Amino acid sequence: MAQVVSLEEAISKVQNGMTVMVGGFIGCGAPDQLLEEVCQKGTKDLKLIANDTGILGDAMSQLIVKRCVSKLIATHIGTNKETGRQMSASELDVKLVPQGTLVEQIRAAGAGLGGILTPTGIGTIVEDGKQKLVVNGTEYLLELPIRANVALLNAYKADKAGNLVYRRAARNFNPVMAMAADLVIVQVDNIVEVGEIDPDEVMTPGIFIDYLVQKKPLEVPDVG
Amino acid sequence: MLDKEVRMEWLVNRVAQEFKTGDVVNLGIGIPTKVANALPEGIKLILQSENGYMGVGPAPETGKEDPDTVNAGGQYATILPGGCCFDSATSFAIIRGGHVDATVLGALQVDEEGNLANWMIPGKMVPGMGGAMDLVVGARRVIVAMEHTAKNGGVKVLKKCTLPLTAAKQVNLIITDMGVMEVTPNGLVLTEMAPGVTFEGVQACTEAQLLTEA
């Protein structure tokens, strides 16, 4: 059952050495205030699973800059030069994964699947060390599920039962990660009472969510 | 030969002729993005952004930027009426599931078998593949749009790519500032040349043997 808690209480559950999934796509839909608190606490040795490591200067990038992360699984690190620098200097263990594969590996973990078969990466270095299967004459890579101890997510609206609504392109990895971690913490722009979100409008069922943290309301321009 | 700027404009306009109204298209960053502004009169595409929406519109006016609406390059964007948003799993189901009619991407190298390398240079540039590997495997047509040679004059259209591949044998068409090359079982067929360019001129900048017919 979801609980509304303070930022500090929520992030007190994030311990050194944990595997942490973080939603967002180059900062859009990333839980910036949760990440700032993780950095602030001086958290170390996280295994980070995320699409990218943000743009140098944003909250996501600070996880890398402040050396909270020892191992990273991501699809793209080009927007944060510090990630590339730490990788080249062998200070950070980085595994790059195709975006469509990463999201399906996470979904597989959340959905109780033993893995997924994808044609992506066949004939490239992505296939190194992986099992290949031929189904109906087509070659696929077996990609294994990816789970985390904690997921740090962002939503536009939540009711106190944890039901989530995202806005525009800020949805990205958030709904999939909500299913694949032992503890799911969501930073929310607007927390409303139970019953104030129509059941048809819910994008992520509240049963996946453990903690809701209220964020200062986001100023959104009127774009119709 | 015409100057570079004119040939680049020819390239963008030529890519824009590859589509019909209603095509679902994913445009990569850089030269491919410019194609959206060069579509022939009356052609309306449904542009996908792999970070999670359909109906990519023009960049927003200054002051109307919405932090929740960015494109796959992280720049502020807009969503046209009729567009829709989705999560990354749905986005890549659209891509990998064959629901994207065409993708247009840049390349570091491309070869006569339709192999593409555009995601890393070992020891130099390792930004990651992002969604490119899925797009190249999943889109029904893969169009490479790029300058024919590298900035240092290096050849990019090769017999065999030497850089790590993005995908094997998935490229259908290569459009450069020098011409249009179709990938066929026999090799690359040069079907069109940019104004003022000769067959010999293109071949001189190309490692792969160019054919005049399939």
What is the SS3 assignment for A4-67? ECCHHHHHCCCCCCCEEEECCECCECCCHHHHHHHHHCCCCCEEEEECECCCCCCHHHHHHHCC
Report, at the CATH architecture level, how domain A3-214 is classified.
3-Layer(aba) Sandwich (3.40)
All domains in chain B, ordered by first residue: 4-211 (3.40.1080.10)
Q: What is the pLDDT of residues B11-51, one digit of tens each?
A: 999 999 999 999 999 999 889 999 999 999 999 999 999 99
B-chain CB neighbours of A52 within 8 Å are 128, 130
* Min Cα separation A34/chain B (Å): 18
Contact B87 A79 (CB under 8 A): no
Q: Is B50 a catalytic residue?
A: yes
Sign of CA dihedral A74, A76, A82, A84: positive
Q: Where are the domains of chain A?
A: 3-214
pLDDT at position A204 over 60: yes
Which residues of chain A are within 8 Å of residue B79 when distances are taken between CB atoms?
168
Q: What is the pLDDT of residues B91-119, one digit of tens each?
A: 999 999 999 999 999 999 999 999 999 99
Q: With an 8 Å Cβ cutoff, is B75 touching chain A? A: no
B9, B18, B50, B147: which is the annotated catalytic residue?
Answer: B50
Q: What percent of chain B has a predicted confidence (pLDDT) above 90?
A: 94
Q: Does A125 touch chain B (CB under 8 A)?
A: yes
pTM of the model: 0.96
> Is any Cβ of chain B less than 8 angstroms from the Cβ of A138?
no
Nearest-Cα distance to chain B for A176, in Å, is 7
- Cβ burial of A95 (10 Å; 0-12, 13-18, 19+) is exposed
pLDDT confidence of residue B214: 78
Of residues B68, B95, B168, nearest to A124 (C-beta): B168
Q: How far is A72 from chain B (nearest CA, A)?
A: 12
